[in-house]
Structure formats: structure tokens, C-alpha cells
Structure 1
Amino acid sequence: MISWPRVFLFGDSITQFAFEANGWGATLANKLVRKCDVLNRGLSGYNTRWAKLILPKLITKCSDSEPPAAVTIFFGANDGSLKEENPQQHVPLDEYTDNLRTMIRYLQSVDITADRIILITPPPIHEPSWEKQCFMKGYKLNRLNSIAGEYAKACVHVGQECGTEVLDLWTLMQDGGQDCTVYLSDGLHLSDKGNEFLESRLWPILEKKLGALPFILPYWMDVDNKNPEPSLFHNSTEKKEQS
């Protein structure tokens, strides 16, 4: 069996929606085609309290397969909900921080080194836009941008502490006082421009880790049409012998 290296995208709804048209995950998958399988493990509405329990069911140590080439962990938008307005999704800041550490430690325990892990902070919140969404569902405003910033800072701190890469969306999307609303479709989730922004910042990080991976199976013009099998599988056999 020919196996592709795997990239796991693990997160909440912003990850789950990443394979929609113009989504950041779909663009990455296209760039990595025939090099990696990009697996979407986004879970809409989930927080790190639940995610840390699920992660060991998604990624395990297998003797017959290589560890994932990269894993993104992208939570915080739900954890940072206001407890008084959204107790179902809210996770206190200290617990959120510990949960990120727990997930990183687990990945390291199944041979995924820190350099293969990428943390992504929650994006900013545009409160007027998100408040409209809340009112339409009969709720009060249940997220604040300042709180999202606290969770983003905690995520950055965990990355620095654990030696993983961090993509600080919350800061980058507001850098220089720029208007972040163009990056958000409803005040919380990403617009097309937001998806493009995320992918354009994440790709250079992934490219450094994955750019040297070989193209799987030879270019079609390099296949010997009269005797295809040796030319099709020469590199795969060579790789297997070297491993």
C-alpha cells in the first residue's frame, strides 16, 4: 500500500469550515496534493476541554505508519465565550492554557515532535457584527474581542513554552490598527479574505516543514509505457528499503 504523509487540521468550526469553497484548508490541500493528505478534523462548537479528550482517538501511535508530518491546533474562539452568557462552551483561561499543554504533550508522546505542531490563536471578534448574530438566535452578546485577545496571548505563551510554532491571528489581523472586519463573515468566522489571510500566513510555516517532501509516484512522462511497473514503483521501493 502506498501511503501519503498526513497533515491534521484540528480545531473548532473555523477548521471545520476550512474545506468550503475558498477555505484555507482546501487551498493548503491543493498546494500539498500528491505530497500529503490534509485531513480536516474540525469540530464546530467544540472547546479545548472536549478536544483534549478526543485527540487521542484521532491520532494514535501506529507501528505500520509514520507520525503525521504536521498538526495544527486551532481552538479558543469558543473557550473564550463569556461564562455568564455561554456556559456550555466557556473554558476558563487557566484551563484553556493547560488543555493546550496537554494536547501538545500527548502529541509528543506519540512521536510528533514540537517542530511538527502549529498552534493557531483565535481570530479577533467584531462585536457589533457578532452581536447581531447572537440577537437573531435570541442571545445576548457572548464574546468580546478583549477576551479573545487574552486567550490568544495565552496560546502564544504556550507555544513559546513548548517550542511549537504559533500563528497569532488575533494580533496579525489587527496589526497597525487595521480594520479586521474584512476578515470576518459574521464577526467571528472567517470571510473569503480571512481564509486567504490565514492560509497565506500558515503556508510559509508548513512549506518549511513539508516543502522537501517528494512528489508521490513519478511524473507521467517518466513512466515507461511499455514496461510501467519498474518505473512506477522504483522510488517507492527505494524509499521502503531505506526506511
Structure 2
Amino acid sequence: MALPEAGACSRLLLRPRIVLFGDSITEFSFQENGWGASVAHRLARKCDVLNRGLSGYNTRWAKIVLPRLIYKESNAKNTIAVTVFFGANDSALKDVNPKQHVPLDEYADNLKSMIQYLKSVDIPEDKIILVTPPPLHEMTWEKECIAKGEKLNRFNSTTGEYANACVKVARDCGTDVIDLWTLMQKNNQGFSCYLLDGLHLSGEGNNFLANQLWSLLEQRTSTLPVQLPYWRDVDHLHPEASLLGESS
């Protein structure tokens, strides 16, 4: 039997979506036990969670490619949230890693530019969530650098300056922000458990971020319906009635 034409269906199923935009910490978020995968699992059959992470990217490059990834024709009005998660590469030391380094003032300006662009394609401030870079565990990351024949190319104190700039941009622009750098070091607690290699998130770090993000998304997504009936509720003798809303 031929499949029905799209126009014959009672309505197309257009799922709301959440877009995760960032660097490698976002790109890797759909790996096993990743924070993006965790959010996607919680919203299965309710909302599409799209991974738009770009490993190694800084805000200078992200600002350029953002209009190619999110635009009005891409159903921006159906977007529930966009995370903008950069800074781990921008904060690289200029004299050691000039390719990824972005000056602090430019980093802030780039974040503001991306927020303004998202607003121009009908994604307002209350749907934008900035995420600061996590803290850097210098001893562990230095081992990674040495293994590649390089010197330590980041400092946690410098990363903190970029995190603070991100928080200020969020405050000035009226967006939500998850200040990972501060939250993971709250009460002077050790934070190495949150990091796999000193820079990227471990399983515990992924879980930490997933919970922080979910605290912002839960209310926004709580009223989303589960799309299509549970399989036990499908009338197996007349499935069209259950799946297309057609009378038998």
C-alpha cells in the first residue's frame, strides 16, 4: 500500500527544538553520558535537541558561521532555547596559542553580536542561554600539552576572566547564564573530578552541566506533549485512526 501524501495527513509533526551551539565541549556532548545526550533523552518524543558543536572554535569563528546554522527559514520560531557555550578556546594564551586566542574585549563583543543575531531571527533573549567555560585544571591539562610537544597554553585564572565577561554579557543583554567556572569551584571545592583531561568534561562534569541546564529547561518544556500515541494505545486494526487522527 502506498504511503499517504503529506497533504493527506491531518497535520505535519513539527517538533520544537533546542540548539546547542559551542566548541568541543558541545560537540562531544552527545557521546556516552554526555550532557547533550542527557537533555535529549529527557525530551525524547517531545523536542529535538540539535548538536551544533564545533571542536576548537572560538567566538571569532562562531560569529561568522552562526547565520549558516540558525536562520529564519530553519524554523527559528519553533526554537525553545539556544545554548551559546564558548570561551575555553578564546581564553588560550596569545603567546602560546595565537590561533585560538581571542582578546577578552572581543570575546565579549562577539557574544553580544551572536545574541543580537539570534534576536534578529526571532529568538529573543529569554530563549538564549550563555554558558561560561568550565575551570581549567592546569596540572592535568599541562600533561596533555606536553604529550603533544607543547607548553601549557591556558591558565585557570585567565579562563575565569572570560567566564566573568560571559556573565556580564548575559546580565547586560538579559539572557540566562550558567556560570560553570564559578559553580564547579563553589566553596573552594576541588573540581578536577568534573574534567576528563583538565579542559573537557568528565562523566561527572557532563552530569553536572546537564542538571544545571535542565533546571533552566524543565519549566520551558514541561507543557510539551509527547508526540504520537504510546504503542499499546494504537488501534492495530485501524492504525490510521490512531496515528493520523482519521476516523475509521
- TM-score of Structure 1 vs Structure 2, range by shorter chain: over 0.9
CA RMSD of superposed structures (Å): 1.5
Separation in structure 2 between the aligned mates of residue 234 and residue 65 of structure 1, nearest angstrom: 27
CA-CA distance at 1:221 after TM superposition: 3.3
Alignment match of 1:227 (pick from 238, 241, 246): 238
1:67–1:110 Cα contact (<8 Å) kept: no
Residues 63 and 192 from structure 1, CA distance in 2 versus in 1: closer, same or farther, beyond 3 angstroms? closer
Identity %: 62
Equivalent residue of 2:182, what SS? Answer: helix
Residues 228 and 5 from structure 1, CA distance in 2 versus in 1: closer, same or farther, beyond 3 angstroms? same
1:8–1:72 Cα contact (<8 Å) kept: yes
Q: Per-residue displacement from partner, 1:68-107 (whole Å, max 9, x unpaired)?
A: 2111000000000000000000000000000000111111
Question: Which residue does 1:238 correspond to in 2?
Answer: none
Task: Please tell me whether residue 204 in structure 1 is matched to residue 215 in structure 2.
Answer: yes
**TM superposition score normalised by structure 2:** 0.91
Question: Which residue does 2:197 correspond to in 1?
Answer: 186
Mapping 1:98-113, distance limit 5 Å: 98-113=109-124
In the alignment, structure 2 segments of 5+ residues that lack a partner are 1-11
Residues 63 and 25 from structure 1, CA distance in 2 versus in 1: closer, same or farther, beyond 3 angstroms? closer
Aligned length: 235
Question: Which residue does 1:8 correspond to in 2?
Answer: 19
Larger Rg: 2
Alignment match of 1:160 (pick from 162, 171, 177): 171
CA-CA distance at 1:229 after TM superposition: 2.2
CA-CA distance at 1:204 after TM superposition: 1.2
Separation in structure 2 between the aligned mates of residue 204 and residue 63 of structure 1, nearest angstrom: 26
Mapping 1:46-195, distance limit 5 Å: 46-62=57-73, 66-195=77-206
**TM superposition score normalised by structure 1:** 0.93
Mapping 1:9-48, distance limit 5 Å: 9-48=20-59
2:76–2:122 Cα contact (<8 Å) kept: no
Residues 129 and 63 from structure 1, CA distance in 2 versus in 1: closer, same or farther, beyond 3 angstroms? closer
Equivalent residue of 1:40, what SS? Answer: strand
2:178–2:213 Cα contact (<8 Å) kept: yes
Separation in structure 2 between the aligned mates of residue 51 and residue 176 of structure 1, nearest angstrom: 33
Separation in structure 2 between the aligned mates of residue 67 and residue 161 of structure 1, nearest angstrom: 25
Separation in structure 2 between the aligned mates of residue 51 and residue 63 of structure 1, nearest angstrom: 18
1:116–1:209 Cα contact (<8 Å) kept: no
In the alignment, structure 1 segments of 5+ residues that lack a partner are 236-243
1:61–1:67 Cα contact (<8 Å) kept: no
